[in-house]
């Protein structure tokens, strides 16, 4: 191989690496941009309903100053699960931009139960993975919890329950159709 051919090969390799870094960086920058609360509430149906409800909960304002944002609860931290979630989110973009079936408070309320069941099912399937980013049974000091909470958490461990089994409605209003008698802890409507 001649020296000019070697330089050409080296040049193509360097350009390929630079382009790869730029494309990968742009992809990750976009991914992180769509993983912010500001992005989530840029749609008025999210800002006007779920975000308003979140502001009334302990996950938004509490004695410790730790606040959960939309992505903390709805987007996995691990890269592969985050990518899968972002691909699934394309369905939400369809419903926002094309179908426009949740673009008014009335339409959102009409779909609330269906939307909630979808989130609950996902949380059940992932063992409430996003909750566990902050809340882990093995990090809980049951002696410092109210006895009712400590008993419930110990029972949850014994029955292999996950956070969403007991904590539906913790950050958003429960749908009117929700019936706690039919959807008991550990017996999700999807797992009867």
pLDDT band at 182 (very low <50, low <70, confident <90, very high): confident
Calculate the alpha carbon distances from 166 to 59, 134, 161, 169 in Å: 16, 16, 8, 9
Residue extents of the structural domains in the chain: 18-166
Calculate the alpha carbon distances from 76 to 35, 42, 100, 132, 163 in Å: 10, 20, 26, 11, 15
Question: Residues 23-42: pLDDT tens digits?
Answer: 999 999 999 999 999 999 99
pLDDT exceeds 90 at position 174 = yes
Q: List Cβ<8 Å contacts ≥24 apart for 79-85.
A: 81/126, 81/129, 82/31, 82/35, 83/31
Q: Could you tell me the pTM of the whole model?
A: 0.81
Question: Residues 52-85: pLDDT tens digits?
Answer: 999 999 999 999 999 999 999 999 999 999 999 9
Distance between CA atoms of residues 68 and 55, nearest Å:
10
Q: Are 96 and 43 contacting, i.e. CB atoms less than 8 angstroms apart?
A: yes
Neighbours of 70 (CB within 10 A): 19
């Amino acid at each position: 191989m001649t020296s000019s051919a070697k330089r050409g090969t080296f040049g193509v390799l360097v350009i390929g690496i630079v382009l790869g870094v730029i494309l990968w960086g742009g992809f990750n920058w976009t991914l992180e941009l769509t993983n912010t609360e500001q992005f989530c509430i840029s749609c008025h149906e999210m800002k006007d309903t779920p975000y308003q409800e979140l502001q009334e909960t302990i996950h938004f304002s509490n004695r410790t100053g730790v606040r959960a944002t939309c992505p903390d609860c709805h987007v996995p931290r691990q890269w592969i699960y985050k990518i899968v979630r972002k691909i699934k989110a394309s369905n939400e973009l369809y419903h926002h931009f094309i179908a426009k079936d949740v673009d008014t408070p009335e339409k959102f309320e009409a779909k609330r139960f269906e939307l909630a069941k979808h989130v609950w099912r996902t949380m059940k399937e992932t063992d409430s993975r996003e909750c566990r980013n902050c809340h882990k049974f093995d990090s809980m000091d049951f002696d410092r919890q109210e006895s009712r909470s400590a008993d419930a958490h110990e029972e949850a461990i014994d029955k292999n329950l996950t956070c969403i089994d007991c904590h539906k409605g913790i950050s958003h209003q429960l749908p009117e159709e929700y019936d706690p008698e039919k959807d008991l802890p550990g017996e999700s409507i999807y797992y009867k």
